[in-house]
Structure formats: structure tokens, C-alpha cells
Amino acid sequence: MQSEGAKLPSGDTQLPFRDAQLIQILDAALADTARRSGDWLVCRPGCTQCCIGVFAIDQLDAARLEQGLRELTVNDPERAHAVVERARRSVKRLSQEFPGDPATGLLDPAQETRFEDFANDEPCAALDPATGHCDLYRARPMTCRVFGPPVRSEEGLGVCELCYHGATEEQIAACEMPVPGLGEELVEEFEQSSGRRGHTLVAFALAR
């Protein structure tokens, strides 16, 4: 996490052209992984366990969420208003113990230890509590897009604790979701072009 940066802008910040391509690649990879996983992958609309507890997002994620909110404001202003109100209430709850600068919404990398135990019961502002659906699903952050199916990291192959019950390690590995390494490059490109740097939270990106 980085702490430099100004207050998150709510204006129309242009996303990198290749961001849309990356999203298409990830969506296709998830669809293929779901096909190979069958009933082992239990992620479904209304399953909200991964929507509880805050996590850091980069500025490209934040800009994508802002764009999704602008589109929702045009298509369904009532639902968009509800998202913003949930985000504002969340920011108010989070600001008191925020491990960073609550005025900018930027997390402080020196407070990573505090962040590990911070707001683990806070629902995502994009989550509609009545339906259990994400109101900004198409604009969701990268973390959301790769959570659930088997995804490889430095720690090995990780899956959601609700998924792949009864599957062997070999069967889980056979369902691995490939994640292209383009993401970090796009984030760096976006930071340089927009001047927006640092990590924040979903609520701060949406509480305009």
C-alpha cells in the first residue's frame, strides 16, 4: 500500500483501454473454471460471505467502481443513491479507527498490522442487504473477480473456504483459474496517467 495521493476524485477519470480487455479475459477464465469445477464451486448470487470485511483496492479498482456508479446513476438512480448512502454510512463508521487518512480515504502502508484486524465485520457498500446481490457487480474490484475458485499466489493455490468440499488437491488443481499478469502493469499505467496513487477501500471510492 502507498500513502501518497490527493483526495479521491469523483470526476470522470478515463480507464486504460486494456482494462476492458483484462476484464474480458478474467470473465472468460472464471466461466471456464466454473465449468470445470461444477458443484464444487458454490459461489452464487446471494452468497455474501466474501462481501463482509474490508480489503484494500488500488486506484484502478476505485476508478472502475466510480464509472460503474455513474452508469448505475443513469440506468437506476434509486439504486445508485442507495449505494452512495451505504458508502457514506460505512465511511462514517470506518473513519474513527481508519488505518490511514480518513480525509482522503488512503491507507497508510506503515499501519498494515492494524489493517489486518480492521473492520472485518463491515459489509461492502456495493452489497444490497435486501437481495444479497452486488449492485456494482460488473465494476467490481480485481480481488472480487478472483476470489472463490482456485487461484495461485506466493502462498500456493487458494480457494474460498466454502468451495471444493470433498475435492482432492489434484482435483482442485485441475480447476485452477489462470490470472494474467497484466494487472500490475495497468495499475502503474493508470497511476502515471491520472496522478492517483495509493490504496483505499470500496466505501471511500463510492462515498462521493
pLDDT at 56: 96
pLDDT at 5: 36
- Cα gap 128→136, rounded to integer Å: 10
User: Cβ neighbours of residue 114 under 8 Å, at least 6 residues apart?
Assistant: 99
- Cα gap 128→2, rounded to integer Å: 30
Grid cell, residue 148, equals 472463490
DSSP 119-153: STTPBPTTEETTTTEETTGGG--HHHHHSSS-EEE
142 closest CA partner among 192, 92, 185? 185
Q: Percentage helix, strand, coil, to 5, in the chain?
A: 50, 10, 40
Q: What is the pLDDT along the chain (208 residues), one digit of tens a residue?
A: 433 333 344 456 788 889 999 999 999 999 999 999 999 999 988 899 999 999 999 999 999 999 999 999 999 999 999 999 999 999 999 999 999 999 999 999 999 889 989 999 999 999 999 999 999 999 999 999 999 999 998 888 999 999 999 999 999 999 999 998 888 899 999 999 999 999 999 999 999 7
Q: Where are the domains of the chain?
A: 17-206
pLDDT at 2: 38
pLDDT at 3: 37
pLDDT at 16: 86
